[in-house]
């Protein structure tokens, strides 16, 4: 009934949503892509924003930032975000992709909420545990992530956000425009494919002797293999108890191999074309999927702590998307 009401209200409001989609695409082509500002950052951000709007996952900073970003500007905020909020409020609908932490096994619709829940749990635990809590919180490939602006109660960390200059500058402008306090965050420009992010961080005041938590969400798939392995190897130089949490796509999906050769791979690659970005990196998820990532992190000097995946491992299915938490022992 709630879903029906949600669909009905959405249909009534659809002219506004269509205007929003046109403006979104226009601004992507006219501003974001030419200025080399990340387009896919909007996908990850949009997923968390939807959960906040539906009332399933609290993210006030993400909501405040909407209307102050290159794509999520005031028009899109009004036409798409506020209309969706109205539809959720009036219908009370919170299901499917808005659910949080969402169903298990998760699927294409619910994988964003599964991902958010996995990362949230890892962050909360690392920043608030009584024994050896993280003292530094690094968000690698930060995009429009807002976790530094809504830290868990009791967290006592120095925050760093690392990204390429165009995206980082657009974010700082957005935070200022939205009036979100950000003096506690150090912004660090780098290109993971070109230079060592640790050098850039150290120059910005990062202390390699402190227990550190690295959030690396939605990034590995856009990098080359060397850049991914180098990042994991650098994390292995941090003090005992330091952790890195990351997600990755199935290597079979990236390489257009079974069982994704017919639809999964093509669909995913087509959606990347919209943003003019490319998927490059994956790790095998053939059963047992955990073994594939465990070998990679072990070879880089880390231990695997937690691991989850979308879909199931039961043939003919293999997981499409995985989440891993690794630590320095
Ligand atoms: C899909 S977005 C994810 C953003 C954010 N972590 C989140 O989950 O909302 C990928 C981010 O990685 C950044 N990125 C991609 N390739 C990069 C590179 N070579 N060096 C630095 N940052 C990069 C992009 O600018 C973008 O902000």
Q: In the chain, what are the domain boundaries?
A: 2-98, 111-327
The response to whether residue 197 sits with its C-beta less than 6 Å from ligand 1 reads no
CA of 14 to the centre of ligand 1 (A): 31
Which residues make Cβ contacts (< 8 Å) with residue 171, sequence separation at least 6? Answer: 69, 142, 143, 144, 161, 163, 187
CA of 151 to the centre of ligand 1 (A): 20
CA of 190 to the centre of ligand 1 (A): 11
Ligand 1 atom closest to Cα of residue 227: 19
The response to whether residue 193 sits with its C-beta less than 6 Å from ligand 1 reads yes
91-114 burial by CB neighbour count: b if 16+ within 10 A, else e? bebbeebbbbbbeebbbeebbbbb
The response to whether residue 41 sits with its C-beta less than 6 Å from ligand 1 reads yes
Mutate to test the pocket of ligand 1, among 44, 47, 163 (most ligand atoms within 8 A of CB): 163
| Per-residue tens of pLDDT for the chain, all 329 residues | 888 999 999 999 999 999 999 999 999 999 999 999 999 999 999 999 999 999 999 999 999 999 999 999 999 999 999 999 999 999 999 877 789 999 999 999 999 999 999 999 999 999 999 999 999 999 999 999 999 999 999 999 999 999 999 999 999 999 999 999 999 999 999 988 777 899 999 999 999 999 999 999 999 999 999 999 999 999 999 999 999 999 999 999 999 999 998 777 778 888 888 999 999 999 999 999 999 999 999 999 999 999 999 999 998 899 999 999 999 99
The response to whether residue 66 sits with its C-beta less than 6 Å from ligand 1 reads no
Q: Beta partners for 68? A: 73
pTM of the predicted structure, to 2 decimals:
0.96
Query: Has domain 111-327 been given CATH number 3.40.50.150?
Result: yes
């Amino acid at each position: 009934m709630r879903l029906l009401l949600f669909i009905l209200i959405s249909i009534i409001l659809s002219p506004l949503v269509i205007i929003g989609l046109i403006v979104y695409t226009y601004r992507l082509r006219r501003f974001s892509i030419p200025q080399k500002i990340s387009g896919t950052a909007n996908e990850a951000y949009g997923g968390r924003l939807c959960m906040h709007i539906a009332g399933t996952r609290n993210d006030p900073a993400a909501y405040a930032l909407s209307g102050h970003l290159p794509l999520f500007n005031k028009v899109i905020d009004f036409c798409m975000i506020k209309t969706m909020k109205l539809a959720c409020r009036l219908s009370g609908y919170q299901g499917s992709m808005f659910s949080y932490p969402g169903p298990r096994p998760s699927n294409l619709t619910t994988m964003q909420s599964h991902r958010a829940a996995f990362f949230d749990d890892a962050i909360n635990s690392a920043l608030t545990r009584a024994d050896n809590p993280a003292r530094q919180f690094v968000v690698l490939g930060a995009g429009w992530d807002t976790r530094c602006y809504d830290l868990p109660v009791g967290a006592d960390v120095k925050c760093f956000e690392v990204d390429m200059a165009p995206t980082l500058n657009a974010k700082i402008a957005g935070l200022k425009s939205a009036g979100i306090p950000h003096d506690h965050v150090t912004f660090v420009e780098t290109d993971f494919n070109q230079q060592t992010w640790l050098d850039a961080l150290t120059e910005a005041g990062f202390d390699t002797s402190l227990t550190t938590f690295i959030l690396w969400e939605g990034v590995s798939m856009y990098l080359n293999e060397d850049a991914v392995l180098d990042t994991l190897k650098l994390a292995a130089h941090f003090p005992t108890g330091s952790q890195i949490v990351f997600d990755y796509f199935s290597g079979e999906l990236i390489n257009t191999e079974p069982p994704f050769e017919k639809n999964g791979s093509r669909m995913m690659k087509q959606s990347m074309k919209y943003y003019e970005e490319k998927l490059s990196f994956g790790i095998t998820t053939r059963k047992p999927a955990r073994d594939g990532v465990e070998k990679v992190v072990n070879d880089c000097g880390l231990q695997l702590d937690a691991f989850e995946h979308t879909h199931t491992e039961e043939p003919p299915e293999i997981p499409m998307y995985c989440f891993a938490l690794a630590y320095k022992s």
